[in-house]
Amino acid sequence: MQRSNPSKPRRRGRVLRFVLLVLVLGSIAFVFRLGMIPWSLNPLPALDLATPSPWFVDWRLAAMKYNPALCRRVLVSPHIDAQPIADNPLRNGCGWTNAVRMSQAGGVQAGFDKISCEASAALALWLQHDVQQVAQEILGQRVTAVQSFGTYSCRNIVGNPLWKDMRSEHAIANAVDIGGFTLADGRSISVRSHWRGDGAEARFLRAVHGRACRYFRVALGPDYNQAHHDHFHFDRGPFWRCK
């Protein structure tokens, strides 16, 4: 008669417990990523825009998504000038909630009329701690303004036939398009004119584009497709893409 192996049930039990743990942790991470943890239950501290490279920055940005009080707490001078705007409830996939109108961040003129709270905080962190640092290192001067190519627009994703029937993050004011930068000496650097090549302007653009991936889940530029040949697209949507 063949003896049973008592170690097999134990191994199966350990595997099942491990799978259950992974599922539980994955579910928790997913809920944090969606910003659905009530702030009263959220163990993460509120973002401080004065702090470079904050830990768990994606989850802490997501926590602002549905929390106007937290938004007002985080979006403060001198790091950003932003004012809450009235909600425009979604209709046909377009509208916004918990959005602001911002005029500057990190000492950079950044006029965005309708932008979600979490996207504005991401933009402020990027401008203050990354764009200015890279500009000083590569160009020897500060950035004074960004050229806005828009935020809110009730439209579908463009430039990718696989997603042509899906609403863009622009449709909920959760995305920004940036066409270029103005330097302290008045010189302009544009994505259209300076992305290609190996000069200082191109190195600056590539560096700041890469740094944006710390704060935005999607950061697209000219290397992604022709639709982005003249601007950067940044958004805080559900997908990840940095190209």
Helix (H, G, I), strand (E, B) or coil at 181: strand
60-to-55, 63, 70 alpha-carbon distances in Å: 9, 5, 10
* Helix H or strand E encompassing 114: strand 108-116
pLDDT grade for 21, boundaries at 50, 70 and 90:
low
Which two tokens mark 212?
A: 């944006």
Tokens read off for 50: 């004065």
Cβ–Cβ < 8 Å for 154, 173: no
What integer best gives the mean pLDDT of the chain?
89
Which pLDDT tens digit goes with each residue over 178-233?
999 999 999 999 999 999 988 999 999 999 999 999 999 999 999 999 999 999 99
Considering only 36-40, 124-128, 142-146, which range has the smallest mean pLDDT? 36-40
Q: What DSSP string describes 86-112?
A: --EEEETTEEESSEEEEEEETTEEEEE
CB 169 within 8 A of CB 237: yes
Q: Taking Cα atoms as reference points, which of 177, 79, 176 lies closest to residue 132?
A: 79
Quote the pTM value.
0.87
- Number of CB atoms found within 10 A of residue 62's CB: 22
Instruction: Report the alpha-carbon distance of residue 194 to residue 196 in Å, rounded.
Output: 6
165-203: b (≥16 Cβ within 10 Å) or e = eebbbbbbbbbbbbbbbbbeeeeebbbeebbeeeeebbb
